[in-house]
Amino acid sequence: MIGSVLLLLVVLAAATANLIQDVTFTVSNSADTKDTKSISAEYPGSFKTELNVGEKNKLNFEITLKKTDKKKQNLHQLFVRISSTDDKYEFIAPAKTSSGVLQASFSASELSHDVNGSGTYNIQILAGDASLPKPIVWNVGKLSLDASNLDTAKVDPFVRKPEIYHKFRVAERRPPTVVSSAFTLAVLAPALVLFGGWTYVGANLRNFPGGTASLAALGFHACLGAVLLLFIVYWLSLTMMTTLIYAGILAVPSAYFAHQTLNALARNHEAAAVGRAKQE
């Protein structure tokens, strides 16, 4: 049983590894479409001669796939890679399916821009697919590029690039000091009105609980201040849900301290009423 499975895997690997039948490169003149020349190679061979490309040429390559079971196969990923002999520069063109054939085209100027000028380069076909046991790397042949008249200075892509200077938006003019001071006073005006109102109605600390009850009163006022501080922080940075969670946590001690403070005030009022009754 295991031997049959291994034999089946070997047969499938052999069948899928040879999906590519041949490749054809066509070099045409952009000025004269009739001036074309083609060169072909069958997988896994290579071109018998070097492919010569001029600065005005356009390149087109077509990949023919083998037919299995009267059905043409397809490859999900297929690229042509043109690289320098030292692999320092490369040009990669993806293949697209057109009329049932995988093909791609590019100009000599595009090629020269990436590989950086005239020279001899290697041509490879790179193919990948889920049905392949491993990717296909096919060394097709050599390409001689003559781009002497194109502006392709030999520039190392790994050299240090010029520093980029960012220009930030100029800050807007600030208002006069008088205007800023007026708005500051306007913001503080409600607090001034509050303290003035307390003074007018005769607010005082005479009824503030004493003894141990004062701890509950201080705790209630501390929780009240914490709630006000929470509102400020919510306005600055917090979200509504986070604020509600913190407010719910503060509500528990606030309710407790408020209840204790009110009980102390009620006891004080009751004791004061009993004292006045005895005096009468």
Comparing 11 with 162, the larger pLDDT belongs to 162
Half-sphere exposure in the Cβ direction for 73 (13 Å, CA): 24
CA distances from residue 78 to 20, 26, 27, 94, 255 in whole angstroms, order as listed: 10, 18, 20, 6, 72
Encode pLDDT of 126-161 as tens digits: 888 777 778 888 888 888 888 777 655 555 667 888
Instruction: Give the model's confidence band at 18: pLDDT under 50 very low, under 70 low, under 90 confident, else very high.
Output: low
Model pLDDT, residue 10: 41
Average the pLDDT over 6-31 and give the result: 55
Comparing 170 with 208, the larger pLDDT belongs to 170
3-class secondary-structure state, position 117: coil
Decide if pLDDT at 179 tops 80: yes
Q: Which amino acid is at 79?
A: F
Encode pLDDT of 30-54 as tens digits: 655 566 778 888 877 888 888 888 8
What are the structural domain ranges in the chain?
Answer: 2-145, 210-280
- Of the ranges 57-61, 71-75, 192-196, 201-205, which is most confident? 192-196
Model pLDDT, residue 23: 72
Encode pLDDT of 88-113 as tens digits: 888 888 888 766 677 878 888 788 87
Instruction: Give the model's confidence band at 1: pLDDT under 50 very low, under 70 low, under 90 confident, else very high.
Output: very low
Burial class from Cβ neighbours inside 10 Å (0-12, 13-18, 19+) for residue 59 reads buried
Q: Residue 15: in which H helix or E strand, if any?
A: helix 2-17
Is the backbone of residue 244 left (phi > 0), alpha (psi -120 to 50) or beta?
alpha
Model pLDDT, residue 13: 41
Model pLDDT, residue 254: 92
Of 130, 114, 136, the closest CA to residue 59 belongs to: 114
CATH class as words, domain 2-145? mainly beta
Average the pLDDT over 61-75 and give the result: 65
3-class secondary-structure state, position 134: coil
Encode pLDDT of 223-280 as tens digits: 999 999 999 999 998 899 999 999 999 999 999 999 988 888 888 788 777 777 777 6
Instruction: Give the model's confidence band at 115: pLDDT under 50 very low, under 70 low, under 90 confident, else very high.
Output: confident
Model pLDDT, residue 4: 45
Question: Is it true that the peptide bond before 135 is cis, omega within 30 degrees of 0?
Answer: no
